[in-house]
Amino acid sequence: MMTNNKYCLILLLCFALSLLTARAQEKLYVATDRGAYISGDRVYFSLFCVDGEGRQSDFSAVSYLELISTDGTVAEAKAGLFGGRGAGSFQIPASAPTGNYLLVAYTATGKAVPEGSRLLSIYNTTSTARVKDGVTIVPQGQWSAPETKEQYDEKLVLSFPRNAQAGRVESLRINAPAGTDIALSVSREDGLATPDGKSLEAFLHGKKAAPTTHSGEYEGEIIVAQVEGLERSATDHDQVTAFLSSAGSPSNVYIGRSDTDGQIRFFTNNIYGNLELVCEVASMSGRSCHISFASPFAHPESGPLPALELSPAQQGALEARKVALKAESAQNPDTLVRFLPKRNDLMLAGISPIRYHLDDYTRFPTVREICVEFVPELQFVKRDDRWRIRMYTGDATSSRQFLLDNILVLMDGVVLTDHGMLEDFDAMLLEDIDIYDQAITIGEITFNGIVNFITKKNYVTALHFPENVRVVDFMGVSYPVAYPGDTEPTGERQLLYWNPALEVPEEGCSVDIHLPSVSGTFRVSAEGWTPDGEPVRSEFLINTY
């Protein structure tokens, strides 16, 4: 009987291992708002992540994208993943040369899989720079626009007037099985796009992703850094503790400890947006050092790409795109998009701080005087010629008070391990003091509480940090956004509508499309899959007059 039990246990372990391996074999399919762009344009994308069995993967929480040509990578981006779906945007550099590019997406658990890449055509309207051997010049009389193919899927029916009056708002009706998840785009058709030939169906039935030995990023990006400036001997195995934080967000605090090779991993819950990170390495026995980030991007090779056909016959379309990009660049980007739900950091979730709004009290010139006069939870003490902040807290009945050390001190969300920096800070610049009087664990360290000194205009960035602190630019995860297209009803608009993750309810749905005030031809395109995992795709052309 015991032998049978061992045999069953081995089978269960093998089955569990096979499931984990299948989940860890991931590849990504990329859908974009258009197929052709000019340098400086913004690319909106939608991601479909599947595991080794072709099912939507919920394993990885972050993905990486690279825009590459035969000359190498010209743009990079990161996107969060939720249950196998992700979205975001990035800007093509204004210096990107004319040519065809691959937009490749992958996770840390797998290699960049060419089957899921998206072929994009990019035209530089301000420079003659071209991808090496990537452009073919076609005389005007011999050039013809790529053939436009329309496609209809009985499980994804799109209803829209084929001929509509310019300047109007028309309703696009979507009928599909309840729960169908699609990326929907309506964009100008001007003959510049290169037919990709890729489809979600072909991608799902393509080869499986390659096995991997990389750690899964199932909670968020794992930022890898290297300790620099610290001489280590074969017998020196002291761990270096480092802090990551960013101005404005008390939840963006991460702590890591080095291994014997001086490498540190910060396990984040995804940091959104491009921002400055303050990186501090705790001093060790009088030694000072700092950290540098390792790139998470794979920089794959594109392989052979078809040459982009360039002709004088395209001049009118390129000029129209240039005018449209200039008009869009003059607007606030936040007014053009609608932000979609994103992954929230749970570090301080459910914890309400005790807030002191300093304008409600008599002002004092130093932070220490403020705490003495009207913040009873905090106490400044001096030990070994160094200032430390301690916190008073009570028991469940508030009948007893405890004075706690090991408090995490922040200013505008930035970690201050040297509390003496507050002594030289102008207290008149402070706006609020938030106190979290509960034990909170970050990484491997538990703090008895957190205090965040909030300035009026993020003045923490003006502090003079010691040598072991670096302020570095960091590319975070792109904010998931949709483009409703309702802020610019006139002009040569190229993109009319984009929703990277539109879920069709049981009764179907409708979206309003704001048509520009000029005549033209526009492509309506939707692709995704049903709740049963069946890929669907429909696209056709409409005209405005």
Give the CATH number for residue 71.
2.60.40.1930
Q: What angle do CA 14, 18, 21 make, to 5 degrees?
A: 135
151: tokens are 């496609």
In a domain, 4, yes or no: no
What is the maximal distance between C-alpha atoms in the chain? 91
Say if 256 falls within a structural domain: yes
Residue 20: per-residue pLDDT: 45
Alpha carbons 121 and 160: distance in angstroms, whole number? 28
Exposure on the CB side of residue 490, measured as CA atoms within 13 A: 0
Answer whether residue 515 is part of any domain. Answer: yes
Measure the N-to-C terminal CA separation of the chain; round to a whole number of Å. Answer: 80
- Pull the structure tokens for residue 540: 């056709």
Beta bridge partners of 316: none
Question: Does 263 fall in a domain?
Answer: yes
Q: Is residue 347 a part of any domain in this protein?
A: no
Whether residue 461 contacts residue 441, with contact meaning beta carbons closer than 8 Å, is answered with: no
- pLDDT value of residue 287: 61
pLDDT of residue 285: 52
Sequence-distant (6+) residues with CB within 8 A of 195 are 35, 146, 147, 149
Are 305 and 119 within 8 A, CB to CB? Answer: yes
What is the model's pLDDT at position 401? Answer: 65
Strand, coil or helix: 20:
helix
Domain co-membership, 499 together with 417: no
Centre a 10 Å sphere on the Cβ of residue 138 and count the other Cβ atoms it contains.
15
Domain annotation covers residue 402: yes
Identify whether residues 521 and 419 lie together within a single domain: no
Q: Which of 255, 273, 293 is the last residue of a domain?
A: 293
Which strand (E) or helix (H) includes residue 281? strand 274-281
C-beta contacts of 416-424 below 8 A and 24+ residues apart: 417/243, 417/280, 417/282, 418/386, 418/466, 419/380, 419/386, 419/387, 419/388, 419/389, 420/386, 420/387, 421/463, 422/367, 422/368, 422/387, 422/389, 422/453, 423/366, 423/367, 423/368, 423/387
307 with 268, same domain? no
Are both 30 and 96 inside the same structural domain?
yes
Do 483 and 497 lie in one domain? The reply is yes
Residue 349 lies in a domain: no
| Residue 275 CA neighbour count, 13 Å, CB half | 21
- Host domain of residue 366: 354-467
Q: Is residue 520 part of a domain?
A: yes
Q: Please tell me whether residues 233 and 166 are part of one structural domain.
A: no
In DSSP notation, 512-532 reads: EEE--SS-EEEEEEEEEE-TT
The count of domains in the chain is 3
Do both 522 and 417 map to the same domain?
no
Residues 134 and 270 in one domain: no
The answer on 278 and 260 residing in a single domain is yes
Domain boundary among 273, 293, 313: 293
Query: What's the pLDDT at 213?
Result: 55
Residue 453 belongs to domain with CATH number: 2.170.130
Question: In angstroms, rounded to a whole number, what is the distance separating the alpha carbons of residues 73 and 89?
Answer: 16
Beta bridge partners of 475: 274
Q: Which two tokens stand for residue 454?
A: 């909030």
Q: Are residues 367 and 390 in the same domain?
A: yes
* pTM: predicted TM-score of the whole model, two decimal places: 0.90
Q: How far apart are CA 315 and CA 522, in angstroms?
A: 19
118 shares its domain with 95: yes
pLDDT at residue 259, as a whole number = 87
How many angstroms separate the CA atoms of 89 and 67, rounded? Answer: 12
The answer to whether the CB of 227 falls within 8 A of the CB of 270 is no
User: Tens of pLDDT along the chain (545 residues)?
Assistant: 445 554 444 444 433 334 444 456 788 999 999 999 999 999 999 999 988 777 888 899 999 999 999 999 999 999 999 999 999 999 999 999 999 999 999 999 876 555 678 999 999 999 999 999 999 999 998 988 887 788 999 999 999 999 999 889 999 999 999 999 999 999 999 989 766 767 888 888 776 655 555 668 999 999 999 988 766 554 455 678 999 999 988 888 999 998 888 899 999 999 999 999 999 988 655 566 888 899 999 999 988 999 999 999 999 999 999 999 998 888 887 788 999 988 777 778 778 899 999 999 998 999 999 999 999 999 998 888 889 999 987 665 555 567 788 999 999 999 999 998 988 789 999 999 999 988 899 988 999 999 999 999 889 978 888 888 889 999 999 999 999 988 665 567 899 999 999 999 988 999 999 999 889 999 999 999 998 889 999 999 999 99
Contact yes or no for 66/104 (Cβ under 8 A): yes
Residues 41-50: b if buried by 16+ CB within 10 A, e if exposed: bbbbbbbbbb
**Strand stretches in 53-180, DSSP E:** 62-69, 72-82, 85-91, 99-106, 118-123, 135-137, 157-159, 163-164, 169-175
17 and 132 share a domain?
Answer: yes
